[in-house]
Structure 1
């Protein structure tokens, strides 16, 4: 009998532990426990397909193909229209297959600051507490003499490297241009303290195989293919709710995911909901957009929400579905002087074949571009004194309160790549460059709630993007900062006509001029109308960074918390949450490393409670 299947009839009706969700944290949690105690029966229930050796998962360069219409590896959540976004409905893609978003993300290796985890104010979750787990998960491939090896791991299952290819001249160009405006190059912006430096950015890519380092391939699949394990994975099934009895979680109710399964008359009976029992624990690990909905359908949440949805209250936990956070992102794009071999764009406009690159990988003379993402340069950034002084008083007030005395706290993350991630069918064939900015700690908050008892009932989703005006003012600083770098690069083709995606400044304004700055470091000047043009561009284009978190926060119940420091859901025994929804506040950077961290910490907690020795 296979240990992984999309047929629930292949699995027992009762196991020790059910993990509801096979994403980054769920795979890590299940994989670590299964390896530590093969006698434990653990069932992971994943809504999406099995990702084993799926080409657009394992080959880094194919990552954007996961977002095409009809994708079997991604799901898309649509938020309500927002006036702050000029009436747009924000779309949030997440991983829709085993491995979750780790199977489709951009693979940027980013860890939060040590103080980010300190700010969670939870025993056992400080930066100092968590650093050993960060080291445990990774094998870090970088021999730069300036790197503090004590903050990285060298024997973990997840490999971190620069991948198979980088656009080296582009990297050097961006780093030189950034230095001209005072942003220094650093050997390691992920050392838990660096908050104002640019570097050649590492990726979650194996340096030899060139494969993506997703949670399923790194941890789950090797165990599933072993001869001695109690780990099993049920794919293509959605968890409807947690089943409880007398205040304790006793199992889950799940149903085949008809979005990926073809239901025929012969399999129609299997399309009915099925209850699978858990003897020891149920761990919900379905992500920040699905975990709170599972809890609410289980009768765990705010009484007002549950009453409207027609669901009896089992445990009143008002914080469920609140505190939704993301990193607000916008992109600008420019025509470049890059050569075809220096650009990722030929992958996106058809000039370079994925199949040919896969076939050629590691052969003599091969560029190994199939093991590349185009995300070659990034920085953590704090504004300089002039930028702070030019910002509105409301921005300065919060900067003084939350940032000024905390030099380890960046304002934003900046990413640059020899790529245009937009629609290539509407632009000339060329080589482009993209500059991205996202805020480290937006103040805006959203929410997600169910509206009815059925799994397909519409969700009430408010993205919260730009819901706090401070975030917009901060992004204006980000636009101006990235522009000063771009216009100093030799890669930029030059002139306003080379701006492919950016604000629409009025003709003749200072903001409309893209002349190269003078040798004394002069920067672009803007008037009030220019600032409004920048804000309008951001409102029209700001989007998710795929970093959803916070909706089942780890903090006291009276403060809106959903779980305690041991990840127990308030009011229900035997029920835990282990995914990014437990984050009480945000971290500076891409969230994959932190998702793995939550899985590692959850495994440690469960191992202790289960009495597993030498974990």
Structure 2
């Protein structure tokens, strides 16, 4: 079955793929572009457009995410980590936490790829943004003000008293507050966490609603988007030129006959860091021995496909909060405040309502003090000395606060919470994903790789101590939710009840003493609770082929023609940030590369 010809096919309708498709449609309206998305259409989905409902997308019952279960991880006690990926038009942009976090410029520099330095990427980071933060201390030259996606200082609600309390707590332990933590260089401070939420409407700033749907509705381009359709493989001619793709309905059985659509100029894969390598492998691009074992004809032997998997694995620590029910999202998300009541509040007070808020008001990118470094175990000390000590724009860990319980406990006891999140900025651990058959219904072999490098666990131990020092100095602190914290051995001086009682008696936060047994308890807890932060990348890395690379600097797949990969899978190294900003910048950069290849006039 054939579905006709188009100029460009984009396999995957996530953030990067849609940005690139939309930009090309704007630049050349008569260029026929087909985007094929496995997930459902996101248009007017209340759980998408209303920011406060974002936790619903990563619940086990979610239909807007696809859940990948890793093989048992020996470093996590045999746990099978589950990693969700966007499974809806817009991909992660439609279901993410909407926090505005940028990488350090040095992160892009470290990719060691011509045209992809921090200086090169800044115009693309700015191109998507409509920055609404009016803080006079922010360097306006670093942000964009005419892009399609708004970045606000808090949506339509903010827990301002908590913000102030958090910054004061950080100041007490020597952590400074800055106006802009996303200036591509600051790496040891805390700040207000800006949001991909429009400050006037309170709507999520996903790519479909704020960029693609307006283009489609205008009807003056040849851009077309189909949903609920999964790309099986890329087709090639005898010269190894990509000529089209096969796709099937997402909810189909292995016997379903695929639809073929031809691409006259280019095929682009943008199916996320777990989906894109699978498409390549089903197409005959990957490790030759693995493909031959599955009787898949080898088109190009590219051994790096599906390797180099990385994620910002993290831990979420919940604390009971002295906040009122009107100050956190716990009531809305646990059903005590019905959605209908929240909608009524939104309609009656459109400029100030909780549905236009994600509850994530504070963030930090932090480095250890010299005294803390002295306590580092050998593996972490070596990592620090090699990769961080003399590179002051690289944080060791990223921190965030949430005005709700985000910890792995469902449901938590009724009440109000705040959560401290800690996730590694640059994981040393690596994983992989490889197909196990030719069909899209065959479950891939996924190895999360979490903690297969010892320094990653050691970083988390330091982060546990750091977040605890911040949390217990916040006036909202009302003790930890013990289920979401380590269980210390009997008689431990680090037990929260012991520390809190002593602090109350003294009238100030007393120092916490950790024994070797306490550290072991922290490590055990972290290994039991370590989770994804939904930041998968790296599996189709942009680096030399002989170094495990899959694409070159122009995103061309090695060994074939007219085929590119343009999503977070191309990142050869990690970024010290939530990955939405990077995904958008990759999409913007890809659009400029493709436009040049196709001879389309294009300006950044």
TM score, norm. by length of structure 1: 0.94
Contact 1:108 1:201 in 2 (8 A): yes
1:491 maps to which residue?
476
> Which residue of the partner structure matches residue 123 of structure 1?
114
Deviation at 1:499, TM superposition (A): 3.5
Structure 1 segment 237-386 matched on structure 2, within 5 A: 237-245=229-237, 246-258=239-251, 271-361=256-346, 363-364=348-349, 367-386=352-371
How many angstroms apart in 2 are the aligned matches of 1:551 and 1:488? 41
Partner Cα distance (1:514, 1:252) in 2:
61
Q: Residues 226-252 of structure 1: CA distance to partner in whole angstroms, max 9, x if unpaired?
A: 121100011100000000112100000
- Write the distance in 2 (CA, Å) between the matches of 1:614 and 1:231: 17
- Residue 506 (str. 1) matches residue 489 (str. 2): yes
Q: Which residue of 2 aligns with 1:3?
A: none
In structure 2, the partner of 1:393 is 378
Residue of structure 2 equivalent to 1:580: 568
Deviation string for 1:152-190 (max 9, x for gaps)? Answer: 011110100111101111111111111111111110100
Q: 1:448 aligns with which of 427, 430, 433?
A: 433
Is 1:200 equivalent to 2:185 in the alignment? no
Correspondence for 1:188 among 165, 180, 188: 180
Partner Cα separation in structure 2 for residue 359 and residue 23 of structure 1: 31
Q: Deviations over 1:535-586 (max 9, x none)?
A: 0111001011100000000000010000000000001100000000000000
SS where residue 564 of structure 2 aligns? Answer: strand
**Aligned residue in 1 for 2:543:** 555
Q: Determine if the alignment matches structure 1 residue 80 to structure 2 residue 68.
A: no
Which of 504, 523, 527 is matched with 2:511 structurally?
523
> Distance between the aligned counterparts of 1:79 and 1:95, measured in 2?
17
CA distance in structure 1 between the aligned counterparts of 2:482 and 2:314, rounded to whole angstroms? 18
Q: Which residue of 1 aligns with 2:160?
A: 168
Give the C-alpha shift of residue 364 in structure 1: 4.2
CA distance in 1: counterparts of 2:218 and 2:30, whole angstroms: 13
Match of 1:224 among 216, 229, 237: 216
Distance in 2, Cα, partners of 1:333 & 1:465:
22
Secondary structure at 1:288 match in 2: helix
For the residues of structure 1 that align with 2:488 and 2:321, how far apart are their CA atoms?
21
How much is the aligned-residue C-alpha RMSD, in angstroms? 1.8
Q: Name the counterpart of 2:445.
A: 460
Contact 2:316 2:408 in 1 (8 A): no
Question: After the TM superposition, which of the residue ranges 401-410 and 347-356 deviates more from structure 2?
Answer: 347-356
Secondary structure, aligned partner of 2:162: helix
Per the TM alignment, residue 412 of structure 1 is displaced from its structure 2 partner at its CA by 0.7
Q: Distance in 1 between matches of 2:533 and 2:412?
A: 24
1:561/1:334 CA distance change after superposition, 3 Å: same
Q: CA deviation at 1:367?
A: 4.0
Residue 387 of structure 1: how far off its partner (Å): 1.4
3-state DSSP of counterpart to 1:251: strand
Cα drift, residue 141 of structure 1 = 1.0
Contact in 2 for aligned 1:487/1:514 (Cα 8 Å): no
- Partners of 1:334 and 1:500 within 8 A in 2: no
Name the counterpart of 1:39. 30
Is the Cα contact below 8 Å between 1:448 and 1:459 reproduced in 2?
yes
Stretches of structure 2 that go unaligned for 5 or more consecutive residues are none
Matches within 5 A, 1:527-606: 527-606=515-594
Q: Contact 2:408–2:529 (CA<8 Å) still a contact in 1?
A: no
CA distance in 1, matches of 2:175, 2:546: 42
The TM-score normalised by the length of structure 2 is 0.96
In the TM superposition, residue 352 of structure 1 has moved relative to its aligned partner by: 1.4
1:432 deviation in Å? Answer: 1.0
Give 1:67 deviation, angstroms: 2.7
Distance 1:122 1:187 in 2: 31
Equivalent pair of 1:349/1:425 in contact (CA under 8 Å) = no
Q: Is the 8 Å Cα contact of residues 476 and 531 (structure 1) preserved in structure 2?
A: yes
Matches within 5 A, 1:143-162: 143-161=134-152, 162=154
Among candidates 596, 601, 604, match of residue 613 of structure 1: 601
Unaligned 5+ runs, structure 1: 1-7
Quote how far apart the aligned CAs of 1:142 are.
1.0
Tell me whether 277-286 or 449-458 shows the greater mean CA deviation. Answer: 449-458
